[in-house]
Amino acid sequence: MALDMKGKGKELKERVVAFRRQFHQHPELSREEVETAETIRQFLQEEGIPFEDGFATHGVLGIINGGKPGKTVALRADMDALPIEEKNDRPYVSRVKGKMHACGHDAHTAMLMGTAALLNRNKEEIAGKVLLVFQPAEELGPVGGASVMMEDGLFKKHEPDVIFAQHMWPDLQVGEVGVMAGPVMGNSDQFTLTIKGAGGHASMPHQGKDAIVIAAQVINHLQTIVSRNVDPLESAVVTFGTIQGGDRYNVIPSSVTIEGTVRTNRDDVKEKVKNRLQKSIDGFAMANEVEIELNYSDGYPATMNSPEWEETVRSAVHSLLGEHATPHVNPSLGGEDFGRFLQRYPGFYIWLGTAIPERSIQKPLHDAEFDVNEESLVIGTELLAQLACDALKRLAVEN
């Protein structure tokens, strides 16, 4: 019989909330997670949980060895913040100018620490091993931290049979969890276009090749890649995030640089969009007699939840929160580095409801006013622990 974690996280609530607020007040960007990693190491030492570190520079791996032999389950949390100036009015707002936990990674890390304490207190009843993966640089696409951690030997000594992770989700209420098999998050690619025209005086445009005018045409046309090349029942997005060119109102610039992203949830759709992007750029370059350079970076792969683990995950949620805790949800095209773990190991990624009741409109992830409902922290702590226990039980039965 698997351990029942319902209600066992309540005694850890104050500690988990305190850790979350500590991380929130002292955010560290990708590859800068020095103090965050040190706090995790100190915590693991205090709990008597063995650990290894140095993966992708600041990554930490905690290891809980159960009192009985069995398989291995991994639980992952990301640690890094974003370069955003926080605009919330809370006593625990970021104390670091221009840096903020605007994606809930502070909560992810704190909940995994709570889960570690919960499992460690019950380790004699656990049949198997639980790996606690504290990942840096999740926001640093397209490289990220997951693949670097694995290249650094994260699972060389301890390889998981299955891996789980969760993400704060403001579109769901506290007590609700997003559970779906297949693609839950999308392919997240980046591209840069550099249009190399010819500069000149604003009053004599015929003497140059106006990169700004060409850029405007390119931006408008590339929006038709999705609307006229991708099946309407499939998901794809082409979005432009930056455009830079020109220094003065009466000077035609010689070049314009545009940055954007392509989001899809199927590889074949991704390749179609990618190919159409290149062909369209080539056509514009020829028509305007300019050079247009496309630098396309394949980013995070789609986060593909293993269908064979859906029922186990849904059952764990229901055991803690009831039969109505898993409402229907649609996939997101947000990128997630956890997809790289799922390319190598079976696993599942869930969304944890964290809507704030007093807000009529929930602030989305990566917004300067994003915050989490701290009532969700105990739920997430217990849920990760329950998933680990239920998965180990299932793996023991299957083997």
Catalytic center residues: 300, 374
Q: Let me know if 233 is exposed, middle or buried by CB neighbors in 10 A (0-12, 13-18, 19+).
A: exposed
Paired residues of 304 in beta bridges: 183
Q: How far is CA 253 from the centre of its chain?
A: 37
The candidate with the shortest Cα–Cα distance to 64, out of 124, 136, 5, is 124
Q: Return d(Cα 312, Cα 289) in angstroms, integer.
A: 58
Dihedral of alpha carbons 306, 312, 313, 318, sign? positive
Residue 338, C-beta contacts closer than 8 angstroms, at least 6 positions apart: 76, 138, 146, 165, 185, 303, 349
User: In the block, which residue shows the tokens 């850890």?
Assistant: 12
- At 234, give phi and psi (nearest 5°): -100, 165
Q: How far is CA 305 from the centre of its chain?
A: 14
The candidate with the shortest Cα–Cα distance to 97, out of 26, 163, 41, is 26
Q: Return d(Cα 370, Cα 40) in angstroms, integer.
A: 24
* 190 and 269 Cβ atoms separated by less than 8 Å: no
Neighbour order of strands in the sheet with 51-55: 51-55, 59-65, 127-135, 68-78, 162-169, 347-353, 177-178
How many secondary structure helices (H) and strands (E) does the chain include? 10, 15
* 71 and 136 Cβ atoms separated by less than 8 Å: no
